[in-house]
Structure 1
Amino acid sequence: MNDPLWDSDDAPDPIELGILGWVLVILRGLPLALLVFGGLLVLLTVRLIERPLFGLRRPITPFIAQFVCRNALRFLGIGFRSSGELMRERGAVVANHTSWLDIFALNARKRVYFVSKAEVAKWPGIGWLARATGTVFIERDRKKAREQTLIFEERLKVGHKLLFFPEGTSTDGLRVLPFKTTLFAAFFSDELRDFMYVQPVSVVFHAPKGQPDRFYGWWGDMDFAPHLLKTLGARRQGTVELIYHVPAKVSDFADRKALAAHCEEAVRHAHAIARLEK
C-alpha cells in the first residue's frame, strides 16, 4: 500500500519563465545534464570493476556520486551550507523531505545510499540514476517486512549509511510532518541493535529573494518536469542548509516509536529555528 501524498490547501505557485528564464534553463540545464549523465556513465564503468572485486562494498563509486551532487548544486546556482559533525559510527541517516533537490544536497556532504519506494525504480531517468547509485528500493507490504529488514542488515553491516525520509512524502519545505515509525523497526533487530546509530538531519531550503518561501517544495501531484524547469529558470537562486544532529544509539531507546519521536523532535526543532533565522 502506498503512502498518501502530502498536499497543500493552496494551489502550487504558477510557473512564469519568460525569455530570460528559458535562457537560464538552457545555460544551466545542458551542463547539469552532461554532469549527471556523464557521471552516471563513469560510475557504471567503474562499477563493472568494483562489483566483482568488492561485492556490496563500494570503495570508489560513492565518491563519484558525491562529486556529481556537489557540482550539480553549483551548476544550478543554489547555495549550500551545513553544520554539525558527520556520524562516524555504522548506521542510518534520517531527514525531512522537501523535493528531489534533497538528493543532491544530502549526498553533497555525506556519502549515503537512499532508501526509496519501489515505484521510483520504474521512473524514467530518475530510476536509472537511483539504481546505479545503490538506492535500496522497498515495498510497503507487511509480507515483505522481514525480507527488507535482511537487506538493510546486509547493507549496514558492510558500512553503508542508509538514508531514510521518515515522513514518507515530500512537502512544501515549510514544515516537518510526523515521522512514520515502520522503517525504524528494522534497526531493533538482534543483528543491528547493539552497534546501530541513527543521525537526524534537518534539511532547510531558503527561497530566492522575492520568491515564496515554498519555492523549492515539491508535493502532491506536482510533475517533475515543470518543477525542474522552474528551478533551472530562476533568475536568482536560494540556499539549502543541512543541520546534522548528534547520532542516537538505537540500544538507548525502548522501541521504534521512541527512537522515531526523538529523531523527529531534533529535525523539527532545528528546522523551525533555521527558517526563522533565514
Structure 2
Amino acid sequence: MNPTWTSETLPEQPKITASGYVRAVFRGVPLLLITTFCLLLMLVLRLVERPIYGLRRPFTPFITQFVCRSAFFLLGVKFSTRGERMRHKGAVVANHSSWLDIFALNARKRIYFVAKSEVALWPGIGWLARATGTVFIARRPSDAKKQREIFQSRLLAGHKLLFFPEGTSTDGLRVLPFKSTLFAAFFAPEVVEETWVQPVTLNYTAPAGECACFYGWWGDMSFGAHFLKVLAAKRQGSVQVIYHPAVPARDFVSRKGLATYCQQTVQNGLTPPLD
C-alpha cells in the first residue's frame, strides 16, 4: 500500500467556474431545504416514538432513507446496490471514503451509525447525527465498559449498528486494516448467540475525466470545499453499495478473526482492488 495517499499528497482541487457555482446553488438549496424540513419532522415524530417505543424507531428511519435517496437524485450521482440486506440482529461494517457514505448506507438500509464523540459537537452535522440515533463513542479506556453496554442494549433492541473499522476515511481506492477493538461488543455473552455481522463495500466511480479519488475525503481536506466541489461538478459519477453475506459472530473464536474476515471481504469487493 502506498503510504503517501494521505494529506501530504492531496489532489489538486478543480477550479469552480461561474456555471459550477450555479449548479451548486441549484443542487445545494433543494438538498438543504429537504434535509431541514425532514429533520424537523423527525424531531417531532421522535416525541411520539420515544415514550411509546423507547429505543425502537418504527417510523423515523423511513424519513432518513427518503432524505438520502433524494440527495443522490439532486446531486445527479447514480446510486445502485448489489446483494441482500441482512435480516438478522447485528451490525454492518464498511469501508469509509467520504461524507457521501452516510447517504449511501442509509439510502436502502435502516442503520444507526457509530461515530467518535467529537462528531456530536460538529455544527449542523452533530445535530443531524443525534437526531438519527447515532451512537457516540469516546476513545478513553475508562469508557470501554459503558460503551459495550450501550452497544449491547442497541443490538438487543434490534438496531443494526454501522461501524467504519478503518478508523478514518480514505481516497476510496483502498481498504485500510480494520481495527478489532469495536468488534469485542459482538462477543459479549448476552448478544453473541444472536448477533450477525454484514460486511459492505462502497465503490465510487469518479466522473469522466476526473481523478479516480474524486469522491474521497480524507486527511486535511476541508468539508466545505469538498462538498462544494461535488455540488458544482459538471458531470457526476456513481456509487455502488455491495452487501456481502452476513456471518454469525459465534462462528469466530475472537474479535480479531472476525475483523480480519470482514476486512478481506470488503477488500475483495472493491473495484478495482488495491493491495
For normalisation by structure 1, the TM-score amounts to 0.95
CA-CA distance at 1:93 after TM superposition: 0.1
> Structure 1, residues 92-150: CA drift from partner, whole Å, max 9, x if none?
00000001000000000101000000000000010000000000000111111110000
Q: Which residue identity does 2:166 align to in structure 1? A: E
In structure 1, what is the equivalent of residue 235 of structure 2?
Answer: 236
Cα distance in structure 1, aligned partners of 2:26 and 2:49? 34
**Matched-pair contact (CA < 8 Å) for 1:77–1:237:** yes
CA-CA distance at 1:11 after TM superposition: 2.4
In structure 1, what is the equivalent of residue 45 of structure 2?
Answer: 46
**Matched-pair contact (CA < 8 Å) for 1:24–1:232:** yes
Task: Write the mapping of 1:13-162 to structure 2, written as runs, cut at 5 A.
Answer: 13-162=12-161
Cα distance in structure 2, aligned partners of 1:115 and 1:14? 30
Q: Which residue identity does 2:71 align to in structure 1? A: A
Task: Write the mapping of 1:251-266 to structure 2, written as runs, cut at 5 A.
Answer: 251-266=250-265
In structure 1, what is the equivalent of residue 172 of structure 2?
Answer: 173
In structure 2, what is the equivalent of residue 275 of structure 1?
Answer: 272
1:203 partner SS: strand
Cα distance in structure 1, aligned partners of 2:168 and 2:68? 21
Q: Which residue identity does 1:226 align to in structure 2? A: A
Q: Which residue identity does 2:97 align to in structure 1? A: T
In structure 2, what is the equivalent of residue 213 of structure 1?
Answer: 212
2:209 partner SS: coil
CA-CA distance at 1:275 after TM superposition: 2.8
Q: Which residue identity does 1:275 align to in structure 2? A: P
* Percent of matched pairs sharing the same residue: 58
**Matched-pair contact (CA < 8 Å) for 1:206–1:238:** yes
Cα distance in structure 1, aligned partners of 2:41 and 2:233? 30
Number of aligned pairs? 269
1:221 partner SS: coil
In structure 2, what is the equivalent of residue 10 of structure 1?
Answer: 9
Q: Which residue identity does 1:153 align to in structure 2? A: Q
Runs of 4+ aligned residues of structure 1 deviating over 2 Å after TM superposition are: none
Gaps of 5+ in 2: none
In structure 1, what is the equivalent of residue 193 of structure 2?
Answer: 194
Cα distance in structure 2, aligned partners of 1:124 and 1:161? 26
2:179 partner SS: coil
Q: Which residue identity does 1:187 align to in structure 2? A: F
> Structure 1, residues 231-278: CA drift from partner, whole Å, max 9, x if none?
00000000001110010110000100000000000000111xx337xx
**Matched-pair contact (CA < 8 Å) for 1:200–1:247:** yes
2:272 partner SS: helix
2:120 partner SS: helix
Cα 1:8–1:221 change in 2 (3 A) is: closer
Cα distance in structure 2, aligned partners of 1:10 and 1:153? 40
CA-CA distance at 1:12 after TM superposition: 2.8
**Matched-pair contact (CA < 8 Å) for 1:206–1:275:** no
> Structure 1, residues 167-226: CA drift from partner, whole Å, max 9, x if none?
000001011000000000111000111110000000011000110000000000111100
**Matched-pair contact (CA < 8 Å) for 1:85–1:245:** yes
1:275 partner SS: coil
